[in-house]
């Protein structure tokens, strides 16, 4: 199948990392980002509990930021390409803001439907109902920025780099499906093996499919960076719910929800959070269908020349 360049033309000086090597390198970059930043912090006693908001802030900025920096360094130094070639192209502000607002809307829809089905109970009020509003808003604001770094880092690895490389060598759908499956596998260790973990991983892969279609449709990485950041932030810091099984221990902005034990796990997502809910499955399937039916945007990508595919 003919390859396709998703975000910018491939020039003669550009190198393409082999597909198998890129998959291994992606895992190395993600693990290295965690080990290099977390090991010294934990050995020194700076971090003793990774679920506190100061620790989470450090992880989001340092660990994920380092992973993104390593991928970008590889793209620039080895592949001889710039950040434009991995999706950071025109109309950054507008695309990011639109993606952020759409991500908020998607997450609010999921939580709203689960609430309507009796899946949640209010455990506590939000930041504006707390006794110290300023102290409650500080972690919310810092983690908003932190989730932008974290979400953008994952988008750089999967939609910006891996999907683009696989699509360039093996075709568009290979890039979309391949990176979506790898994205799901990357979240496999978030909680202990359980029924909600397996549905959660299926939904994470489905999320990867949706967000890949979004990036392809837009021909840019800016929008999906905003979408991803908004989803994670509102989930953990808006409603106090688990983000792919990870707990954020701080007062949320809107209200602190907890799952209703009388509601089936496949509605609430149980320990994995709403990302392991069939409601999320339905919302993402609808999103994928809309993007597929709309087709590619007219200025999407650049078809690879026949001689370039042989390089």
For residue 298, what pLDDT is reported? 47
Nearest to 71 by CA among 17, 124, 26: 26
SS3 content of the chain, % helix, strand, coil (to 5): 65, 5, 30
CA dihedral 162, 166, 171, 175 (to 10 degrees): -40
Which are the contacts of 309, defined by CB distance < 8 A and separation ≥ 6? 2, 3, 169
CA dihedral 79, 93, 138, 52 (to 10 degrees): -30
For residue 59, what pLDDT is reported? 97
| 3-state helix/strand/coil string of 68-106 | HHHHHHHHHHCCCCCHHHHCCCCCHHHHHHHHHHHHHHH
Mean pLDDT, contiguous 10-residue spans, the chain (311 residues)? 85 95 98 97 93 95 99 98 94 97 98 98 94 93 98 98 96 96 93 92 98 95 98 97 92 97 97 97 97 69 41 37
For residue 52, what pLDDT is reported? 93
For residue 247, what pLDDT is reported? 87
Q: Please check whether residue 177 is in contact with residue 209, taking contact to mean a CB–CB distance below 8 angstroms.
A: yes
For residue 210, what pLDDT is reported? 98
Half-sphere exposure of residue 299: CA atoms within 13 angstroms, side-chain side: 7
For residue 191, what pLDDT is reported? 84
For residue 1, what pLDDT is reported? 59
């Amino acid at each position: 199948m003919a390859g396709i360049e998703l975000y910018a033309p491939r020039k003669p000086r550009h190198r393409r990392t082999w597909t198998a090597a890129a998959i291994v390198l992606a895992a190395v970059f993600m693990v290295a980002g965690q080990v290099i930043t977390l090991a010294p912090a934990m050995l020194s006693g700076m971090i003793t509990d990774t679920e506190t908001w100061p620790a989470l802030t450090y992880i989001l900025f340092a660990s994920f930021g380092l992973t993104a920096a390593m991928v970008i360094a590889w793209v620039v130094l080895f592949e001889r390409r710039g950040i434009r070639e991995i999706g950071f192209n025109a109309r950054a502000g507008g695309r990011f803001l639109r993606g952020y607002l759409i991500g908020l809307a998607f997450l609010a829809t999921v939580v709203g439907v689960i609430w309507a089905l009796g899946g949640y109970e209010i455990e506590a009020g939000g930041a504006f109902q707390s006794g110290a509003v300023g102290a409650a808003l500080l972690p919310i604001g810092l983690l908003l920025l932190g989730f932008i770094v974290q979400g953008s880092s994952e988008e750089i690895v999967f939609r910006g780099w891996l999907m683009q490389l696989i699509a360039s060598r093996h075709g568009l759908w290979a890039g979309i499906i391949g990176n979506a499956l790898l994205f799901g596998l990357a979240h496999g260790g978030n909680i202990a093996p359980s029924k909600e973990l397996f549905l959660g991983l299926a939904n994470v892969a489905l999320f990867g499919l949706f967000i890949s279609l979004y990036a392809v449709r837009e021909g840019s990485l800016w929008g999906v960076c905003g979408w991803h950041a908004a989803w994670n932030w509102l989930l953990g810091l808006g409603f106090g719910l688990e983000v792919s099984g990870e707990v954020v221990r701080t007062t949320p902005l809107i209200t602190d929800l907890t799952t209703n034990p009388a509601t089936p796990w496949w509605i609430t997502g149980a320990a994995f959070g709403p990302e392991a809910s069939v409601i999320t499955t339905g919302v993402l399937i609808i999103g994928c269908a809309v993007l597929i039916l709309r087709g590619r945007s007219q200025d999407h990508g650049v078809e690879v020349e026949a001689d370039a595919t042989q390089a």
